[in-house]
Chain A
Amino acid sequence: MSQPTQTRPGSLVLLGINHNTAPIEVRERLAIPTERLADAARTLVHQPGIREGLILSTCNRVELITLQDNTGEASHPQSKTDLLRFLHEYFAVPAQDIQPHLYEFRESEAVRHLFRVASSLDSMVVGEPQILGQVKEAYTIAREAGAVSTHLEALLQRTFTVAKKIRTETQIGSSSVSIASVAVDLARKIFGSLQGKTVLLVGAGKMSELAARHLIQQGAASILVTNRTLARAEKLAAEFLHSSVTTAVIPFDDLYDQAARADIVITSTGAPQKIFGRSHGQHFLQRRRNRPMFFIDIAVPRDVDPRMNEVEGCFVYDIDDLQQVASANLADRSREAAAAETIVSREVDKYQERLQSRDAVPAIKALQQQAEAIREAELARSAKRLAALTPEQLEAVEALTRSLTAKLLHPQLTALRESTRNKDTDTD
């Protein structure tokens, strides 16, 4: 019996640069703005030998994920040259400027890399959540541009599932690693939802503005700003005018009267002495009927007396405390990343197995159809001799012949699946 020829879906090739392999000077020359991604993806799939293609362009990486015609081992260097030519022509960047920074992954290694990228294991800050959205956006644009169809579609869908799985099964993205997000996390540990909360900014530093923006994103409702120089406070308050919060400027002299209105106080003045002492905390808490207050002191020297933390209901964190939490969280993420790598490896194997079984499907179907045709022909030849049988007996004969065919085919089908798998492993 002749074995039907197998058709491989193509060769998966991933070529790219990222923050580890290329400096910003190179990355910025290859970066593609979102509005040009569709055009770039279309141009990519018009390159000879490329069936499907997707371009991922973020501030930290530019990657071309392509499905190319499968023309054998010898084509490896050729496909890289083709993609390099595309980069050279599309970005007008000399190939020699790009080549030293490029990495290339093929087949299962390309799948692994894509899974790692989408799961944020390859990010500058491991576990950051933006990358998955960026991969999804790149995929949507490429699909709408007609550059992605069945094979990359299946791969990308699997990629999203794996990334989601890693998010749910590990704690890779659960802890904050920047000062501002640590401050927000702590505020949420105290207040739960930040909806309706009031934030007081004492001093007009950039860091405090950033922390305030994070708090606004989480639902803080109003921002009070105070500074020794009123004009600077007004300028900072104006920065928040376009946000969905109410802002107010407080004269610095009214600070102690007004501070109790705030649930969260962010201080970043350059004052040499402490602005808030322990007794201020007691006074504020009394006025707030013991509702908690969170002091984020990012000034050096510090603005808030650390002894205020002893007042029940007052929580004081200075810049070192926040940094300490961020470092601990970063260490946690590294531990979780190891667990995530295991999931990626498992998922790559599963994906490859599924792909290989799919490769064997046409041959298996042909074999089964051939066997079924033989079975039916043999039954038809014996039709006269079987005419005397009752419907039940005929049914039994049908079942018997089916079972025999299936049993005879079983070793061949298993061998076929195995040989497809081995062949693929060899070519990887």
Chain B
Amino acid sequence: MSLLWLRVAVFLYGIAALAVLPVALYDRPRWRHIAIPATVAAVFFHFVSLAEMLNAAHHRLPVDTHETQAFLGLILALAFLLVYSRYKTVSLGIFVLPICFLLVLIPAFHPGQEYAAFPLFHTGWIFLHIALLLAAYAALLVSLLASVLYLIQERRLKQKSPTISWLPPLETTDQIALRSLLLGLPCMTAGLLIGSLIAQVTIGASYFRDPKILLAFAMWLAYVAMIYIRRHAGLRGRRAVYLSSFVFVVVLAVWAANQFSAVHRFTAP
């Protein structure tokens, strides 16, 4: 049943991704009345699907790459709705909603079969660890996209070409970029801490000698450094995009390292 709801969510993400285009690109604000409710409904069905899946799995968590991606899609859609409710702009949706659609599409039609069994006590903590880290990744992605939007609008203003009406003002995109990072930092910190505690209890100190784990802590440092530089040097525009892109590459490396790590894999803890 959870697959059915996930497919409904995919369909709705698709509608939202299409409906956001006329709002943003052709200045047809009425399409917002389709894009936003479709996203809200998609998030709802996605959540129902996730809840049903977790309920069915009991103390077994789906740890397949695709399912984790789908979860990232859910968090991204929530981030988009959060930005919309705060800044009344759908411009991020042009990028975020198709990403959500693609992230959820594969698990909805080719669900993974891999589950990891945890002692019941750990299941909740593992879930929290995953959720918090994915929230941090989503925050970083939103920040990167906002920085790109800043760059596009800045270029248009500099070249004296007609500004793009669907893009928010520079200061707004800058705020979105910085605030999403500030929101992502506690998520990443808590996510890594919870992961470390679980690893300490279940595996022991050897866990922390794994390159993947070391890379994860390097990612945290890069994240903190990026926030520090952005806040204190007032980094905007091109250089902000470079910095965010660098940290994003580090995050992708940490994600990819799951495939090679001996102790931290999707298939087994």
What residues of chain A have their CB less than 8 Å away from a CB belonging to chain B? Answer: 168-169, 171, 174, 186, 188-192, 288-292, 309, 312-313, 315, 317, 321, 324-325, 328
Contacts and interface: CB of A to CB of B under 8 A. Distances in A.
A167 to B, nearest CB: 11
Q: Which 10 A-B pairs have the closest CB atoms?
A: A290-B234, A289-B234, A192-B169, A192-B171, A192-B172, A321-B160, A189-B163, A190-B170, A191-B171, A312-B237
B157 A315 contact: yes
B27 to A, nearest CB: 6
Contacts of A288: 234
A290 B162 CA distance: 24
B165 interface: yes
B238 A312 contact: yes
Contacts of B168: 192
B58 interface: no
A390 B35 CA distance: 57
B169 A188 contact: yes
Contacts, number: 54
Given A189-B170, A191-B169, A191-B171, A313 B162 contact: no
The interface centre, meaning the residue of A288, A289, A290, A325 with most chain B CB atoms within 10 A of its CB, is A290
Nearest to B165: A174
Interface size range of chain B in the complex: 20 to 34
A189 B157 contact: yes
A170 to B, nearest CB: 10
Contacts of B236: 290, 292, 312-313
A169 B238 CA distance: 36
A324 B233 CA distance: 34
Contacts of A186: 157, 163
B122 interface: no
Contact of A189 (B27, B153, B234): B153
B128 to A, nearest CB: 36
Given A290-B234, A312-B237, A313-B237, A328 B162 contact: yes
A317 B156 CA distance: 12
A192 B163 CA distance: 13
A369 to B, nearest CB: 43
Given A189-B153, A321-B160, 19 more contacts: A169-B30, A174-B27, A189-B170, A192-B168, A288-B234, A289-B234, A290-B236, A292-B171, A309-B158, A312-B154, A312-B236, A312-B238, A312-B239, A313-B237, A315-B157, A317-B160, A325-B160, A325-B162, A328-B162
